[in-house]
Amino acid sequence: MSFSICIHSKEDLNLLADRRDIKEVIIGCRELSRSFDCSKEDFYEISHLAKTLNLKRVLCYDALICERDFNRVMSFFEIIDQDSYDYIRVQDLGVFEQLIELGHNQLQLILETAFHNKEAIKVILKNYGEVVSKIILSYELTLDLIKEYIEIITKENIGVELLCYGPILLFYSPRKLLSASLMTEKQVVANSLESPHKGYEILENLHGTFMYHLKDLFIYEQLKNLSIDKRIDPLFTKDGIEKFFDWLDNSNERYPKQDRKFTQGYLAVNKTDVLFPKLKNTRLNRVDENFVGTVLENKKGSHIAVRVEGKRVKKEDELYFINPEGKIINHTIQQLYDLSFNDISSAENQDIFLIKSLKKITPKTKVYLN
């Protein structure tokens, strides 16, 4: 077993002292990371302690950095003692690029946002295989895709990691949104007043505002036999690391004990694969072969007005209409008029023509040549 553990306080670290299944600890300081709140001094202390425990240390540099902050944040990074970490974990592709330029070659690249396809992953492997030691895959992937991507990535001697137990980040804004509504709070629970969703954890810090899923991701059972690093990050559970390892070592329960509920996310099936074409009335899509145009109005007992957007029409042409409800109405043109009710023999693209009124034809009905 191989765990990557997010360490938010040195007390958490002490729990790992005798464990052999910990590959590395992820630590960070608030200037570089979106969820670690340690000062540089605290970071050094945790880093030192981790080293004495023979644990590899990953510096988490996962904030997205706008141009105005780029040099300042990079300067902060550069004064961090390089002996205090073994790897750097990064999401911002600009930071990634800059770290390579500075000669870093033990990078862990977070591909949790986008990069859901093997084409993208292969581009990273081909171009950055020399400097990337591990890829962190997205928790939007299903287990089948994860297994396929593990094979592709590990073939290049690059490691793979997935969040196994921890919060699902739903929303990352650079704006400080709690400050706009509250005087003092930097961490709140949010309940939707317009849907049943209650209990989102919201954090605000110097990188902006972060909203997390109501439930923690927990997919240990499904991942345990895969040759990947499993990330444990009980950010919102007090003593979460202790509870997790207690569950792992001693429990037959399905989940560790904690107040927050669990989800398996999209591991079994990505529910969003069923997009919503049903919201669109496909009958209103024009089918281009033989398409004539669209009905603008139908005045009962008088006329139907059609705007020609495709093929020209002429008297004696046989038309069929598909109305928004899907009903098909056939009609042969006997009389054809322009907008002044002048008799015409044909109508060209962009003309509007009139024919006699027919039942069941409403505006937006599509017109085709038979």
Among 299, 332, 348, 370, binds another protein (CB under 8 A): 299
Among 116, 283, 315, 331, binds another protein (CB under 8 A): 116
15 by DSSP, 3-state: which? coil
Q: Does the footprint of another protein cover residue 356 (CB under 8 A)? A: no
Q: What residues from 135 to 164 belong to the interface with another protein (CB under 8 A)?
A: 140, 145
CA distance 353 to 303: 10
- What size, in residues, is the chain? 370
Q: Which stretch binds another protein (CB under 8 A): 18-26, 187-195, 218-226, 243-251?
A: 187-195
Q: Which stretch binds another protein (CB under 8 A): 62-70, 155-163, 225-233, 324-332?
A: 62-70
138 by DSSP, 3-state: which? coil
Question: Which residues, other chains included, contact 209 with Cβ-Cβ below 8 Å and sequence gap of 6+?
Answer: 171, 172, 173, 175, 176, 177, 178, 202, 203
H/E stretch holding 76:
helix 67-79
H/E stretch holding 5:
strand 3-6
Q: Which stretch binds another protein (CB under 8 A): 40-48, 182-190, 311-319, 321-329?
A: 182-190
Q: Does the footprint of another protein cover residue 267 (CB under 8 A)? A: no
CB of 98 to another protein, least distance (A): 5
Six token digits for residue 222: 């499904």
Among 41, 67, 78, 249, binds another protein (CB under 8 A): 67
Among 352, 266, 259, 355, which residue's Cα sits nearest to residue 315?
355
Six token digits for residue 211: 């909203």
Q: Does the footprint of another protein cover residue 268 (CB under 8 A)? A: no
Q: Does the footprint of another protein cover residue 238 (CB under 8 A)? A: no
Cβ-based nearer residue to another protein, 49 or 137: 137
CB of 183 to another protein, least distance (A): 6
Q: Does the footprint of another protein cover residue 335 (CB under 8 A)? A: no
Q: Does the footprint of another protein cover residue 37 (CB under 8 A)? A: no
Using CA atoms in the order 264, 267, 269, 273, what is the torsion angle rounded to 10 degrees? 110
Q: Does the footprint of another protein cover residue 312 (CB under 8 A)? A: no
Q: Does the footprint of another protein cover residue 324 (CB under 8 A)? A: no
Among 78, 274, 326, 359, binds another protein (CB under 8 A): 274
Q: Does the footprint of another protein cover residue 63 (CB under 8 A)? A: no
Q: Does the footprint of another protein cover residue 175 (CB under 8 A)? A: yes
CA distance 176 to 159: 35
Among 18, 78, 288, 343, binds another protein (CB under 8 A): 288
Question: Which residues, other chains included, contact 363 with Cβ-Cβ below 8 Å and sequence gap of 6+?
Answer: 295, 296, 297, 298
